[in-house]
Amino acid sequence: MLEQDFLKQLKQVNISKDGEKTKVRFKEVWKAASSTKKNEVKGLAGVAQNTIYRVGNTGSISAKLALAIAQVLNINPLYLTGEANEVGEYTDKSVNSLLRKHGYDKKSEKKPRGKRNATEAKDDPSTEQNEIFSTSLSKLNKDVIANLSGDKIMNLFESLRTKVSAGVPGSQEKIEKILELLLY
């Protein structure tokens, strides 16, 4: 679950890939939401009713509002921005994907924004990082462990720090365990 303090740090810029899709999808999920859920979204994102109205009319949505809506209404935030075709569910993977795609992690800040070609995606350490994270610890094999260079380990640790900052459940305990193993 994302904390309000984390969401407040996000920029209020439009991240919609397709304004028309965002407009239609936002209206659809907002209409279906109860007034309690709507108030919860506005409180979590720290936005006024005017902001909600603007999203429904323009199709422009910020990461802050997309993530708040996704969390409270349990939908994929990428669906709201037009980057996914299925409503899906709110998951850590979808949150991290949205944050990474829109430059809210250190790696993304260093790279120019825009579309990357297949070669760049292949060479991107974050792609490799996701593959390593998706491998459960019980299934780690000698090849994976042998290929974990210092840079890859640092990328994994930085990703975990980002999750802690985002308030992802369980991430704080994981980082504490890693630090305990490294320091003691």
9 with 97, same domain? yes
How many domains are there within the chain? 2
Instruction: Name which of 82, 86, 78, 70 is nearest 37 in CA terms.
Output: 70
Q: Summarize pLDDT for 47-93 with one digit per residue, the tens.
A: 889 999 999 999 999 999 999 999 999 999 999 999 999 888 988 88
Is 106 within the bounds of a domain? no
Q: Which of 12, 160, 15, 145 is nearest to 80 (CA)?
A: 15
Q: Which of 90-94, 112-116, 150-154 has the highest mean pLDDT?
A: 90-94
Q: Give the residue among 101, 113, 96 at the shortest CA–CA distance from 161.
A: 96
What residues make up the domain containing 45?
4-101
**127 falls within a domain:** yes
Whether residue 153 sits in one domain with residue 88: no
C-alpha atoms less than 13 angstroms from C-alpha of 177 in its C-beta half-sphere: 6
Say if residue 4's pLDDT is above 70: yes
**C-beta separation of 157 from 151 below 8 A:** no
Q: What is the pLDDT of residue 143?
A: 58
At 25-51, the pLDDT tens digits run 999 999 999 999 999 999 988 888 999
Same domain for 69 and 33, yes or no, is yes
Structure tokens that stand for 11 in this block? 């920029």
Say whether both 131 and 52 belong to one domain: no
